[in-house]
Structures are given as C-alpha cells and as structure tokens.
Structure 1
Amino acid sequence: MSMISHDLLELDHDHVNALDRAIRNILSTKIAQVVYAQTFDGLPTEQSLLESFDHVKGHPVHGMGYKDIHPGSFDKVRTSMDRFNIFDLDFNRKAIECFQKESVGSDAFSLRLIELVVVACHEAGARAYAIDGGTYKHKTYHEWRKRVLVEKGHDIESRRSHAPPLAAFSHPEYQYPEQYPRGIADVAGYWAESKIFGGVVLFDRGETEDKCKSMWIHGDLIKGPKTLYPPTQKQFDALVKFLTMPMESHTECPLPILGTPSNLPRRDPYDAFAYQHIFRDRFERKLDTLPQRQQDEHSDYMSRGDPKGQEQSHGYVSLL
C-alpha cells in the first residue's frame, strides 16, 4: 500500500487542485496510455525501441517480434487511472514548498507545476515497471543482456556506450540505478517521461541550484537533437494550457515536444549539467571524465554563423 504524501497537505486548495488536474490531464492522453501499457507489458514495442537505439541482433524485442501492445496492458493502465489518488504520489518536500509559494497563473507557477507533473509521470513509469507482472518478465531481458556481456567481455560494462542498456526501458543518458531512489525502476521512469514529453525534462536551477528558471528537454531519439533544447514560447503556452484546462475539455495534447530548428538556444548535455546548473536532480547523471561534446549542426541546429554558440532569444520562457 502506498504511503500518503503528507507534503501535499502543505498545498492550499487552488494549488493542489491545479496539480491534480494537470496530472490527470496528462495521464488521460493516448501517448501516456501507450507508454504505460508498454511498461506493464514488460518490453517496449519494436517501433519504440528503434526510435532511440540501433537494431541489435538477438534483442528480445526483435526476437519476439514485439510490435503490438497486449490489450490486457491497456486494461491495467485504465485500472490504475481509475484508482489514481494524488496523495499516493511521492513528491520532494522542497519542490512542493516552492510550488506553493508561486502565484497561480504566473510563469513561475507554470514551471513549478510542470516540474511536479513530470515527477508524477516518472513515478508512474517506475511503479509500473516495478510490478513486473506483464507478458514479458524483466528476467527475459536481463538474461539476454548477461549473455551479451559474456560474449563481448565483462569489461564492456564499464563502457556504457557499448553495453546493452541496463533495462529494456532506458534513456541512453539516464542509467545510474545505483544513484536513484528506486534503483533500476527509475531508469524506466526516465524512459516513460521521455516518451511522453519528448525527452527527460530538466530545469535551469540557477547559481543557487534551487530555482526553476526555465524548462529544457533532453531527448533520446536517434534522429533527434543530442543537445538540450527549450520549448518555444508557443509550445510552452500550449503545454500550460493543456495542463490547466478542465478535465472535460478537448484541447489537443501538445506532447511530445520534439526538437526543431525553432527550439533554440541549445546546451551541450555535459556543460549544462557540469557548469550551467541545468538538471532536475543532481543524482540523475554522472559526468564522464572526458566530456563528449554534442554539437552536430545538422542534427542539433546550433547557432550557425556563431561559432561561440552565443545566446539567442527565440521566445522560450526564462525567469531571469
């Protein structure tokens, strides 16, 4: 049984209702249901896997020809939604306090609201993974992974870019279960939020590293940006409108937010985490000894004609 989140009791009526509505609006979308149904099933579909990873011979997804989600997994998603209670979720006390301080309707409020919604979506993915009650058990993937490590030599484990992901549901850059509160279930949580929002959602924390000044997205698509990018003003406004609309409304879901030439400026993932205070939680990643720069102008639309990558304003929301 879930523990009741007493931190939420610190929110006033308007704030807790806004958060509850926003989470329900996201969880009711088709994209969220497809993501969580895969997690309940036990493996990502072949299409989902190939969006983020190259084809690997022998991978259980390919070996089983897993293309369609089992209907029973959608039933599990609907059952979970029917039982949803915001007070069952586990939020960081500091994040709740910061949310409560912001005036409803302000940009600062919207950013803090998005932060908590992303955390909720992440947790939902982690919980679904931890159940391990789907058609495909986690054991299937982990046994295959062990065989690959033996065949290629165990030292490959230390070279993450060459080893199979730690879990069947993985964002390539967020695989540090030894640092995560829920262990490997959080690896799946990052995957879930990435599929829903277009990437793992991060924030500019500022010099004090406790702010929420702007929203950034760290995608995982093979054909997408490798750098971090912000939503445009239009995308941000559409997301906020969707989160805050009444449940009975029929506003089109603006997710996922995928990187395009309009999503500027860009940030190198290493520099963003190491020097620019852009992250959600400090435990989410580790820094490589030698940073791997992500500045391919064709895939990432870095500031062309500006070799120093100077700041440009393209309408993204930033609280200075």
Structure 2
Amino acid sequence: MTLSDPPRAALSTLETRHLELVRNTVLRILSTKQAEDVFAEVADGLPTQETAKYKPHCDEEELDDRTQPSARARDLVRTWRSDFDLGSLELESNVISTYQQTPLQAREFKARLIEITAVVIHTLAALLFSHTNHPPYKKPPPKNKIVMVDGWPQVTDELVPSRVPTYLYHNDYLDDDIYPLGIADIAAYWAETHLFGGVVVFYQGDNETELPTDLLPPSSLPLDDKRFLDVYLHPDCRFKVFRLSDAQIDQFVGFGVHGEPSASSPFPLKPERNTVRLFPAIAMSHYNVYRSKNDRKVREIDIARLNWGGRMEDDPQMMELVEERKKAELKQGNDGI
C-alpha cells in the first residue's frame, strides 16, 4: 500500500448530467450476467475453470468441478449491487475532475467516460474483495522446485511458495505494494480483464522514448493514428494490448448510456482483425499506453533481447492460413474417400 494516497472525491460531487451518465453506464454493466459472474468469483476469491484456463494452476484440486461461482456469492453480489450507494463511492480526485471538465460534446468525452467507468468498476471489485476475503487469501499452493541435473529437469522435494497472493490475478498487475488497496487491487485488475476483455488503458500522448522500428514486428509498429486518449485493453497471459476501434468505443459507451434492457452485452471485447497490437512489456514504457502511472512498475527492458513471441490468436493472418490449411486437408481427405 502506498505511504501517501492521492486526494479522493465522491461521485456525488459530479454535476448532474455527468453523474447520470457514469451512473447509468456502471449500473447497466453491473446488471449483465458477465459482471455478476465476475463479481461472484471475486466474492468467492476463486476463479472458475473458464477464467483460469490459461493459468498454470487451472487444473488444481481447489478448482476441480468449479464451472461457476457459488450460489452464496451470487446472492451476496445481487444484494450488494442493489444496496450500494454509487454516489458515495470515492475515486481519485483527478479522475473525477478530468471527467467533469470534459464537455459532453467533446471528442474525448467517450474516452473519459470509459476511463471513469473502468475506475469505478475496478474500485467496486477491490472493495468487494476486501469485504468478502480475508488473509490468508486463497492462492495457488506451493510447487515442488525443479532443478537442472546433467542438463535434465528434476523435481525436488523442496516446496516453492506461489509468487501470486491470490488466485485472482493478472500477470502484469502484481505490484500490491504500490496499490492503495493492496492485494484487493490485484483482484480488481483481474475483474476488469474478465469483464471488459482486458485492463482498460489509454494512449496518454507522445512519449519521448523511441523504439527502434527495425526491432518491431509489423503488427506492433508505432501507432498510425495517434490521438489523445485512444482506448486500449490489456489482456492477460501474453495476449497483446490492443486498441479499440471507434465502433467498439461506441459499443462500450452506447451499451451503458443507451442500451435497452434486452440489448446484448458487447463484453468482453475482442481485438478486431487489423487493430493496433502492442507487446505488454513495452506498452507503458515505450508507447505511453496505461491508465495510471501506478498501475504497475516499469521494468527495465532490453529491447534487443525481448522475446517477440506471442499467441497465435494475436496473428489473425496466421490463424486464417492455419484454418485454410485445415479446410484444404479436410477436403483432400473427403475427396479420397
């Protein structure tokens, strides 16, 4: 936890129309089944098999047969959602003031509305975790240490504690020593990821740090249309940070502000085929893509040694080639029957 937290202000200090828009957006999102599932997992302090599927502990005994959150957690979330006074929620004053000072008709207003919505959702998730989980938190158990013997890995009897303090974590947001709510904030970044499709981050303007373009794969070249406060999502498990299209931004805002009760939720959002994708390790330090400087510590990165590997899902062209190859092989097999 930080030694001196920044000043805070309640949502109720916003002017009427600004407050109405963020309140409607947050409540609309919280009313979705996706949000109920995510917040129930926060209350349980445990993910389901689905939300843990890319993590190394996805097959552990505590998660066996856990296909959905507990009924107790669902009931708790529904009660909490109906009773909570959103106007009393306090956020960092700069988030409140920046949103308030942005005119409704300004081009960047949608991004500011998304920003304050993400911060509200994050804060609610952190508070819920704090009230429903208590130390020692549920977390992955120790693992047997593996050492190399004559060039071969060998499992030892020595147990190595888990490096993560809770099952609910995003691999890139583990700096609880700088978070106002500590481990609860770690769980809140996890909640953002599984609700929105990634931690909500923004392009914050030109960065003086220049990244050698000859070291970058084509999908991560510098932004072709640098605009203040472009909106990005930062997924987990080595998936690349990706920029939301204007249509996706409209979906995000429109669902909360104008969405009919029967309208389907756009969340979690996924990257469009030709969107800008950034390597998580350098998104903050080299591209100035983040929400707050205190989201995570910036590590020293040796660009020349950076592992440019990633997930195939982040290369849509390659995915299409693989799919075409599968179809061709299937057709060839059928023709031979």
**Normalised by the size of structure 1, how large is the TM-score?**
0.77
Aligned to 1:229: 242
Unaligned runs of 5+ in 2: 1-7, 146-155, 209-226, 319-337
Aligned to 2:66: 66
RMSD between superposed Cα atoms in Å: 2.9
SS of equivalent residue, structure 2 residue 68 = coil
Q: How many residues align?
A: 280
The residue type equivalent to 1:298 in the other structure is: M
| TM-fit CA distance, 1:87 | 2.2
CA distance 1:33–1:105, shift in 2 (3 Å) = farther
Matches within 5 A, 1:80-91: 80-91=80-91
CA distance 1:170–1:6, shift in 2 (3 Å) = closer
Higher helix proportion (structure 1 or 2): 1
Distance (Å, rounded) in 1 between the aligned partners of 2:228 and 2:85: 26
| TM-fit CA distance, 1:36 | 0.6
- 1:52-79 Cα distance to aligned partner (Å, 9 max, x none): 31356645223xx322322121111111
SS of equivalent residue, structure 2 residue 200 = strand
Aligned to 2:98: 98
Distance (Å, rounded) in 1 between the aligned partners of 2:245 and 2:266: 12
Please say if residues 99 and 112 of structure 1, whose CA atoms lie closer than 8 Å, have aligned partners that are also in contact: yes
Q: Which residue of the other structure, out of 13, 16, 19, is the alignment partner of 2:16?
A: 13
Distance (Å, rounded) in 1 between the aligned partners of 2:175 and 2:191: 16
| TM-fit CA distance, 1:48 | 1.5
Distance (Å, rounded) in 1 between the aligned partners of 2:317 and 2:92: 36
- 1:262-284 Cα distance to aligned partner (Å, 9 max, x none): 3x111222222112211111122
- 1:218-263 Cα distance to aligned partner (Å, 9 max, x none): 112x5xx6221011222111111112126x643221111122423x
Q: Which residue of the other structure, out of 41, 58, 76, is the alignment partner of 2:44?
A: 41
Please say if residues 176 and 185 of structure 2, whose CA atoms lie closer than 8 Å, have aligned partners that are also in contact: yes
1:213 aligns to 2:229 (yes or no): yes
Distance (Å, rounded) in 2 between the aligned partners of 1:151 and 1:20: 53
The residue type equivalent to 2:141 in the other structure is: R
SS of equivalent residue, structure 1 residue 107 = coil
Unaligned runs of 5+ in 1: 158-162, 305-320
SS of equivalent residue, structure 1 residue 49 = coil
Aligned to 1:308: none
Q: Larger radius of gyration, structure 1 or 2?
A: 2
Please say if residues 196 and 255 of structure 1, whose CA atoms lie closer than 8 Å, have aligned partners that are also in contact: yes
SS of equivalent residue, structure 1 residue 229 = strand
| TM-fit CA distance, 1:165 | 2.7
Instruction: Using the aligned pairs only, state the percent identity.
Output: 25
The residue type equivalent to 2:21 in the other structure is: A
Please say if residues 142 and 159 of structure 2, whose CA atoms lie closer than 8 Å, have aligned partners that are also in contact: no
The residue type equivalent to 2:18 in the other structure is: H
CA distance 1:139–1:238, shift in 2 (3 Å) = same
Distance (Å, rounded) in 1 between the aligned partners of 2:281 and 2:199: 15
Aligned to 1:314: none
Please say if residues 112 and 212 of structure 1, whose CA atoms lie closer than 8 Å, have aligned partners that are also in contact: no
Matches within 5 A, 1:242-281: 242-245=255-258, 249-262=261-274, 264-281=275-292
Distance (Å, rounded) in 2 between the aligned partners of 1:170 and 1:24: 24
The residue type equivalent to 1:277 in the other structure is: N
Aligned to 2:315: 301
| TM-fit CA distance, 1:101 | 1.7
SS of equivalent residue, structure 1 residue 203 = strand
